[in-house]
Amino acid sequence: MDATDIILLLDSSVRLAVPLLLACLAGLYSERSGIVDIGLEGKMLGAAFAAAATAAVTGNVWLGLLAAMAVSTFMSMIHALASINFRGNQIISGVALNFLAAGFTVFLGHAWFRRGGTTPNLRPDERFSTIDLPFAQEFGQVPIIGEIYEQLLSGHSIIVYFAFLAVPVTAFVLFRTRFGLRLRAVGENPKALDTAGMSVSLLRYQALIITGLLCGVAGAYLSTAQGANFSENMTSGRGFIALAALIFAKWRPWQAMWTCLLFGVLSASQIRLQGVEFPMIGEVPVQFIQALPYILTVVLLAGFIGRAKAPKAIGQPYVKER
């Protein structure tokens, strides 16, 4: 494998890591506020369908993105209502959203488009196109550095750049602003925050709105940027992998980015390793290679979930004392 192959592998890794990163950041806001969000998978799936369906009907990918964010935020508000107002079990609420999205998207896809649960293929002008950075072709003639600029840094959709820009923004919001301080406090000691005269419910609702918006962008990326339509269960467990990455990153944005990139490298590798014969081993079964990202998820959870210190109030409904 030469330098060009490595750059192409990293390019694929970045593209595959984007939905994981957006979902991971979405879960970061939710769980930092004390709300467990197993429903990231369902929000992404619902958003992916909304984006593809709206873009197919209107021919406008930006309307598709808005629809995806609206659907995901609506689902996030259902989770907020169940978890904050009704003080229900947060895990059950999230799992219910996953089942709802899995069934409802296929049902609507079949009812509206008669394609077995999928949406029509989007034309290039109905999808998010790639953005070429200035002088990308000229710099591409320079060995290594130019190839990195042309192939790795340039040529991505706007959502890719948004996802990586969201990392420092999230780090700044969480650790350098008053809102971030209150958000972290409500996940650690909501009673103290309530005693200080601030609304625990309002802060958690705000966090879940941000969660819904980010999951909406992640879902729209899957069906209108990385792909060209919606297909059944197209998230393929990415919401759960994002949760594993969040735990491994100890609920910190920069560590979350590197963890998601690690998953992206594994996902890109399993595509390139199919059919390759290894010394003394031979050709590894395709099924094993495809399972590599999920095997890593189990290994990380088994090895690090005991060491990762979650916010103290996570998963605990807050009951205001009278």
78 within a domain of the structure (yes/no):
yes
Q: SS3 for 157? A: strand
Looking at residue 117, its pLDDT comes to 85
Looking at residue 321, its pLDDT comes to 66
DSSP 156: E
Q: Which two tokens stand for residue 38?
A: 């197993």
**Predicted TM-score (pTM) of this structure:** 0.93
Looking at residue 101, its pLDDT comes to 95
Looking at residue 310, its pLDDT comes to 82
Query: How many other CB atoms sit within 10 Å of the CB of residue 25?
Result: 28
100 within a domain of the structure (yes/no):
yes
Looking at residue 143, its pLDDT comes to 82
Q: Which domain holds residue 246?
A: 3-127+142-301
Q: Find the DSSP H helices in the chain.
A: 3-32, 40-58, 61-80, 90-113, 136-139, 145-147, 158-176, 178-188, 190-195, 200-221, 238-248, 253-272, 286-290, 292-304
Q: Among all chains, which residue has been given the structure tokens 């629809």?
A: 67
Looking at residue 25, its pLDDT comes to 97
CA distance linking residue 210 with residue 201, whole number of Å? 14
CA distance linking residue 73 with residue 211, whole number of Å? 8
Which residues in the chain show pLDDT less than 50?
A: none
30 within a domain of the structure (yes/no):
yes
Q: Among all chains, which residue has been given the structure tokens 């998820």?
A: 297
CA distance linking residue 167 with residue 12, whole number of Å? 19
Looking at residue 99, its pLDDT comes to 96
156 within a domain of the structure (yes/no):
yes
Q: Which residues pair with 130 in a beta bridge?
A: 157
135 within a domain of the structure (yes/no):
no
Q: Which of 1, 157, 145, 141 is nearest to 65 (CA)?
A: 157
Cβ atoms 28, 183 nearer than 8 A: no
Looking at residue 303, its pLDDT comes to 66
Where residue 92 sits, what CATH number does that domain have? 1.10.3470
Looking at residue 248, its pLDDT comes to 86
Cβ atoms 280, 25 nearer than 8 A: no
Cβ atoms 43, 215 nearer than 8 A: yes
Looking at residue 322, its pLDDT comes to 59
CA distance linking residue 184 with residue 178, whole number of Å? 10
Structural domain count, the chain: 1
Tens digits of residue pLDDT in 115-139: 888 999 999 999 999 998 887 887 7
319 within a domain of the structure (yes/no):
no
Query: How many other CB atoms sit within 10 Å of the CB of residue 297?
Result: 22
Q: What is the CA radius of gyration of the chain?
A: 20
